Structure 1
Amino acid sequence: MAPSEFFVVLQKGITGGFAPPTPSAVYTLTASSDNPAVVLVQAQTREEGTPSLSDPLAPKEVAVSAAEGKINELESILKQLPVEVPTGSQDIYGLDTSIFFGSGDLEWRNGGPQGCGGGVSEVQATDEQKEKFKRAVEIVESLV
């Protein structure tokens, strides 16, 4: 059973350096006890060559029943994956993408709030873990 309350934020474009990263997309999924049958999905994207993300469109509603299996799979995958140490030091999955997931059972985030600044992480993802992370990204994108 999917968590009754959760949020997911997926950001494409997390690697930076001297300057902070410029995201190309931010997807936010939210489920709350206020409306337990619906997952609200919001997407912002940035056109190539433009300096900032678009204004968010009106949220799309996805039935929890339609998303439940994918959310359960996402949470299960993230519970198995490491994050970089220190936070925001390196994109250990190599996809220039971060996921921030929160529920009553799990809070997980790769990439820092300001992205990844070009350091070296003490923790490195294995090829198998990179494939699992790629699947996690696919799950979020399929819900958007």
Structure 2
Amino acid sequence: MAPSEFFVVLRQITGITGGFAPPTPSAVYTLTASSDNPSIVLIQSQTREDGTPSLSEPLAPKEVQKSSAQSKIDELEAILKQLPVEQPTGSQDIYGLDTSIFFGSNDLQWRNGGPQGCGGGYSEVQATDEQKELFKKAIGIVETLVA
């Protein structure tokens, strides 16, 4: 079972792999559960419409009963425990999806992609096709929780 406190940040970033222009987030989803309010998961989202320069203002956090989200959080954590991250950190988008997930709990600290995207280098670790599919599933779990 996942710990009572956790956070998840999913960033969909156009240009995560680097280049001349800096990476541009198209969506940022943040999910948080804390001991301050153990029965609630706070979900905040920001998106950027195509052609606009920045993310929308964050909407007021949505509250979801933790009991209804727990199985998805447990599944997300179990998937991430199986997946590699690039080495060195931020060197390459090894999943090829322009998406970064940052998950933190007492049991797991997991993050792919650097905070400013990937530097366009080469990672010593590469994801297999099976791992890429699991990463897509992890993204889907977060998107389901946000929806």
Identify whether the pair has TM-score above 0.5, normalized to the shorter chain. Answer: yes
The within-5 A match list for 1:41-80 is 41-80=43-82
Instruction: Find the counterpart in structure 2 of residue 91 from structure 1.
Output: 93
Q: TM-score, normalised by structure 1?
A: 0.97
Instruction: Find the counterpart in structure 2 of residue 29 from structure 1.
Output: 31
* Counterparts of 2:20 and 2:119, CA distance in 1: 8
Unaligned runs of 5+ in 2: none
The number of aligned residues is 144
**Offset of 1:77 from its aligned partner?**
0.5
Unaligned runs of 5+ in 1: none
Q: TM-score, normalised by structure 2?
A: 0.95
Q: SS at the partner of 1:132? A: helix
Is the 1:18–1:117 contact (alpha carbons within 8 Å) kept by the matching residues of 2? Answer: no
Root mean square deviation, CA, Å = 0.8
Q: % of aligned pairs identical?
A: 83
* Structure 1 residue ranges, 4+ long, deviating more than 6 angstroms after superposition: none
Q: Deviations over 1:118-139 (max 9, x none)?
A: 1111100000100110100000
* Counterparts of 1:3 and 1:55, CA distance in 2: 30
* Counterparts of 1:76 and 1:2, CA distance in 2: 9
